[in-house]
Amino acid sequence: MSVTSRYRDAWDGFWREAPDEAGAVFWDAEPARTSAVHLALFEPHLTALDLPMVDLGCGNGTQTRYLADRFARVVGTDLSAAALDHARRADPDGRADYRLLDATDKADADALRADLGDANVYLRGVLHQCEPEDRQRLVETVATLVGERGRAFLVELSEAAKPVLMGLAGGPAGPPAKLAPVFRHGIAPAEVSDAAVPEYLRTAGLTVLTEGELPLVTTEHTPDGTRIELPSRWYVAGRV
């Protein structure tokens, strides 16, 4: 079985099981706490607001729909057909376009680029879930979609997130209810070093324009009611 097949099977299994209700998935926090915060960091660096916005690895489309209210054309892409089924059910008016895409496949990336031209790209928490050998290919897809005029916003778990996640998973009661399906379907986050992400971007021909630290907000809470937030780093990149 190829790596892509393993990804697709794992994610399809996860999304077929996932409820439709807002906030039922571990990372599916409301846009006010996620993409709205990210957009405030991203938008000042956009050089062409008329470009399509691609939500790469859109899942059930919660953030895609938020972006679609702010940009003229938004495309949510995902490897999982089951995830896109969720996204389309939640967007009956078709505010965004949803497409099946293997973001590690050059042919898929080239086909989308041929359709859209240069695009701005939003990527939230996708890279750290890839196998090491696929991470550079994913960032190459980002670079392909960005082209000459687009910009990319990436937010990824930092190194400091791994012990937090392992602590949650290894607690006496087991992982929290919304985190358990992630591990059960074999899509537990992998470790990506903080130094690796800018290097992936540079290798793909992109320049890191600005970066910073920001908690990645989840929908889960600790037993005392505290919302779980995971350390993450964000990057804005493009060609200069």
CA 239 to each of CA 9, 106, 128: distance values in angstroms, whole numbers, following the listed order: 35, 19, 23
Cα–Cα distance measured from residue 194 to residue 231, given in angstroms and rounded to the nearest whole number: 11
Chain segment 162-209, per-residue pLDDT in tens: 888 888 877 777 788 898 898 888 886 767 899 999 999 999 999 999
Q: Is the pLDDT of residue 112 over 50?
A: yes
Query: E strands of 19-131, at which residues?
Result: 53-56, 74-78, 97-100, 120-124
Chain segment 214-226, per-residue pLDDT in tens: 999 999 998 888 9
The model carries a pTM of 0.95
Biggest CA–CA distance in the chain, Å, is: 51
Helix (H, G, I), strand (E, B) or coil at 223: coil
- Residue 24 tokens read as 């039922």
